[in-house]
C-alpha cells in the first residue's frame, strides 16, 4: 500500500474506529504488551543495538519498561477517562444538565525522533489508539533497523486501517504533513516543530509538540554538590547525552565547584572506566552528521576556552565521544549557542543566584529546570523565577519515569502534555453536551422585554454573583 492509500484507508475508517469498544482497544493493547514482554523485546533490543549500540539492559529499562508502564496506566484508567463527566449547572439554567464527553479526534499522525525510538513511537501510538483514533506512525530514519522492526510489530498486531507505520525520512514526513489529519503528535527538534505547526495550520489541525531546548541545572550553596555531581553525570552521559531532558549546562555555586567536579569524576570512572570509548555500556552518537556536529562543537569549545576538565577524546570509527566536561567555558561560545544533545557538558560557577536566573530567563523556556538544593527558599525562588515544562529537585531525569506526571514543554520547548490522562486528552476532543430536561429559562426571559423582566434581570445581576 502506498502513502496515499494508507492515509485514505485510515481516514475512511476513523468514524468506525471511534465506535470500537474499549474492550476491543484494550484487547489489542494487551496483545502489544504480551509481545513486548515476549520475543519482541529481544528483537527490538537487537535492532537498537545495531542502530546505535545501546545495551539490551538499557533498552529494557528506558524503552520497554516505560512503554509497559504507560500501557498499564491506560489499562487501569481508560474506562474512567472515557466516561462522561457531569459539570455543575448554574441556577438560571434550572431544568438542564451538562456533561463533557471525551471523543476521539479521528485520524492521527505520530512523528517520532530517534533517541528513544521505541518508547517515543509506541507510547503516543498506544495512547491515540486507546482514545479511539486511527494512528499513522512515522518513526525516525536515523534508526532504520528499529523503525523497520516497529513497522513489523505494529503490522503483526493492528489492522492497517487502525494503526500502521510508514518509514522514511524528511521527504516522507513532508509528504505526510501535506495531508489532512485531525491531530499531529510530533516529538523532535524545535526547528522541525515549527515546520509541523505551520503545515498543521493549513488544515487547522491540532498539534502536540514535544520539543527540545537547553535544560539548565542549578547547584546552590546549600546542596550536597558531591552527590549532585554524581547524579548529573549519570543523567547527562546516559544515552551519550542524546536525551531531550538531559542536563544541558550547569550552574554551580563557586564554593561547591570542587565537590561537584569530584562527584562527576567519580561516577564517570565507575560507570565507563578509564576509557569510555571501549565501554560496551557507553552509547555511540547516532550518526555521522551528529558525530561531526558534536566533534566540531568540542573543537571550537577547546579553542575558545582551553582543554576540558574531563574527556575530550573522539573515535570516528566507533562514533564515540568521551563524556566531556568544561569548567567555565565561554558563555557566548559554541556550547551555549544551541541544544547540545550529546556528551558535552559546560559547567559555570556563580556567586549570586540572580546570575543563573538572569541567564536562564534570557533564553527560550526549557523543558526542565533542575535544582540541587537543601534550601526551600532557593527552590521556591528558582521555581517562581523561571518558566519551564518541569522542575526536578535533587535529581535529574527520573521525573520522566513517573508516567502519572504530565510531560511536555512550554513555548519553544513544546505545546501540550503527554503521559497518562494528560496524554489521553491530547488525542481527545472533550465534547460538551447540554441537556434541557425541564422548563427552559428563555420562556421567562425572551422578548417582549416587559418592565417585570427588566427588573428580574437587574435582580439577577445584583444578587447572583
Which residues lie near ligand NAD (CB under 6 A)? 111-115, 120, 138, 140-141, 169-170, 173-174, 177, 187-189, 192, 195, 210-212, 244, 339, 341, 367, 414
Shortest CB 164 distance to ligand NAD, Å: 15
H helical segments located in 38-181: 39-52, 56-59, 65-82, 119-130, 144-157, 170-178
Residue among 64 and 244 whose Cβ is closer to ligand NAD: 244
Shortest CB 242 distance to ligand NAD, Å: 7
Closest CA to 269 of 229, 303, 306: 229
Q: Looking at 205, 244, 339, 426, which residue is catalytic?
A: 244
What is the rounded CA–CA span in Å between residue 84 and residue 86? Answer: 7
Residue among 17 and 140 whose Cβ is closer to ligand NAD: 140
Respond yes or no: is residue 210 known to be catalytic: yes
Residue among 163 and 223 whose Cβ is closer to ligand NAD: 163
Task: Determine the distance from the C-alpha atom of residue 83 to the mean position of all C-alpha atoms in its chain, rounded to a whole number.
Answer: 26
DSSP letter at 41 equals H
Shortest CB 418 distance to ligand NAD, Å: 7
Residue among 3 and 195 whose Cβ is closer to ligand NAD: 195
392 close to 247: Cβ distance less than 8 angstroms: no
Shortest CB 247 distance to ligand NAD, Å: 13
Helix, strand, coil percentages, rounded to 5, for the chain: 50, 20, 30
174 close to 328: Cβ distance less than 8 angstroms: no
Shortest CB 138 distance to ligand NAD, Å: 6
Cell digits for 243? Answer: 536525551
Shortest CB 188 distance to ligand NAD, Å: 3
What is the rounded CA–CA span in Å between residue 284 and residue 168? Answer: 22
* Rg value, the chain, Cα: 26
Residue among 194 and 455 whose Cβ is closer to ligand NAD: 194
Shortest CB 103 distance to ligand NAD, Å: 26
Shortest CB 301 distance to ligand NAD, Å: 19
- Cell 552521559 found at: 237
What is the DSSP annotation of 148-206? HHHHHHHHHHS-TTTEEE----HHHHHHHHHS--SEEEEES-HHHHHHHHHHHHHTT-E
Q: Looking at 63, 162, 210, 339, which residue is catalytic?
A: 210
Closest CA to 274 of 225, 323, 227: 323
DSSP letter at 413 equals G
Cα–Cα distance list, 124 to 114, 184, 235 (Å): 14, 10, 24
Respond yes or no: is residue 304 known to be catalytic: no
Closest CB to ligand NAD: residue number: 212
Cα–Cα distance list, 367 to 178, 209, 248, 267, 295 (Å): 28, 12, 11, 25, 25
What is the rounded CA–CA span in Å between residue 432 and residue 122? Answer: 30
- Element (H or E) spanning 261, and its range? helix 257-272
Cell digits for 368? Answer: 526542565
Shortest CB 46 distance to ligand NAD, Å: 21
**Residue 186 dihedral angles phi and psi, to the nearest 5°:** -115, 130
Interacting residues of 60 by C-beta distance below 8 A, sequence separation 6+? 41, 45
Residue among 17 and 143 whose Cβ is closer to ligand NAD: 143
Catalytically active residues are 210, 244
Amino acid at each position: 500500500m502506498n502513502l496515499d492509500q494508507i492515509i485514505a484507508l485510515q481516514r475512511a475508517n476513523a468514524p468506525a474506529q471511534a465506535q470500537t469498544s474499549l474492550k476491543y482497544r484494550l484487547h489489542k493493547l494487551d496483545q502489544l504488551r504480551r509481545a513486548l514482554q515476549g520475543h519482541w523485546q529481544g528483537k527490538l533490543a537487537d535492532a537498537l543495538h545495531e542502530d546505535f549500540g545501546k545495551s539490551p539492559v538499557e533498552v529494557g529499562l528506558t524503552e520497554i519498561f516505560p512503554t509497559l508502564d504507560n500501557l498499564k496506566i491506560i489499562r487501569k484508567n481508560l474506562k474512567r477517562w472515557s466516561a462522561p463527566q457531569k459539570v455543575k449547572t448554574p441556577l438560571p439554567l434550572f431544568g438542564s444538565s451538562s456533561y463533557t464527553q471525551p471523543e476521539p479526534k479521528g485520524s492521527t499522525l505520530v512523528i517520532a525522533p530517534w533517541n528513544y525510538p521505541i518508547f517515543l513511537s509506541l507510547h503516543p501510538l498506544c495512547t491515540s489508539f486507546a482514545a479511539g483514533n486511527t494512528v499513522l506512525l512515522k518513526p525516525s530514519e536515523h534508526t532504520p533497523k528499529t523503525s523497520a522492526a516497529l513497522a513489523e510489530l505494529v503490522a503483526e498486531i493492528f489492522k492497517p486501517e487502525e494503526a500502521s507505520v510508514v518509514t522514511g525520512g524528511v521527504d516522507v514526513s513532508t509528504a505526510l504533513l501535506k495531508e489532512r489529519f485531525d491531530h499531529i503528535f510530533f516529538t523532535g527538534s524545535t526547528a522541525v516543530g515549527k515546520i509541523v505547526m505551520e503545515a498543521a495550520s493549513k488544515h487547522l489541525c491540532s498539534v502536540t509538540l514535544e520539543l527540545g531546548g537547553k535544560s539548565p541545572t542549578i547547584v546552590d550553596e546549600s546542596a550536597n554538590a558531591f552527590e549532585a555531581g554524581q547524579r548529573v553525570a549519570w543523567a547527562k552521559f546516559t544515552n551519550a547525552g542524546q536525551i531531550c531532558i538531559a542536563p544541558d549546562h550547569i550552574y554551580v555555586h563557586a564554593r561547591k565547584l570542587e565537590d561537584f567536579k569530584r562527584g562527576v569524576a567519580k561516577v564517570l570512572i565507575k560507570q565507563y572506566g578509564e576509557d569510555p570509548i571501549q565501554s560496551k555500556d557507553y552509547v555511540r552518537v547516532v550518526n555521522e552528521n551528529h558525530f561531526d556536529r558534536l566533534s566540531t562543537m568540542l573543537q571550537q569549545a577547546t579553542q575558545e576556552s582551553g582543554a576540558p576538565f574531563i574527556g575530550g577524546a573522539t573515535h570516528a570509527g566507533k562514533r564515540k565521544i568521551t563524556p566531556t566536561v568544561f569548567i567555565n567555558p565561554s558563555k557566548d561560545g559554541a556550547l551555549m549557542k544551541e541544544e547540545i544533545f550529546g556528551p558535552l557538558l559546560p559547567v559555570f560557577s556563580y556567586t549570586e543566584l540572580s546570575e543563573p536566573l538572569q541567564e536562564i530567563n534570557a533564553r527560550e523556556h526549557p523543558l526542565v529546570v533542575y535544582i540541587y538544593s537543601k534550601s526551600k527558599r532557593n527552590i521556591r525562588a528558582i521555581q517562581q523565577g523561571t518558566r519551564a515544562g518541569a522542575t526536578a529537585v535533587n535529581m535529574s531525569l527520573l521525573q520522566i519515569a513517573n508516567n502519572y506526571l504530565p510531560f511536555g514543554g512550554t513555548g519553544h520547548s513544546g505545546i501540550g502534555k503527554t503521559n497518562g490522562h494528560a496524554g489521553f486528552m491530547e488525542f481527545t476532543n472533550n465534547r460538551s453536551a447540554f441537556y434541557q430536561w425541564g422548563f427552559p429559562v428563555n420562556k421567562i426571559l425572551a422578548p417582549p422585554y416587559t418592565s417585570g423582566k427588566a427588573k428580574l434581570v437587574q435582580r439577577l445581576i445584583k444578587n447572583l454573583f
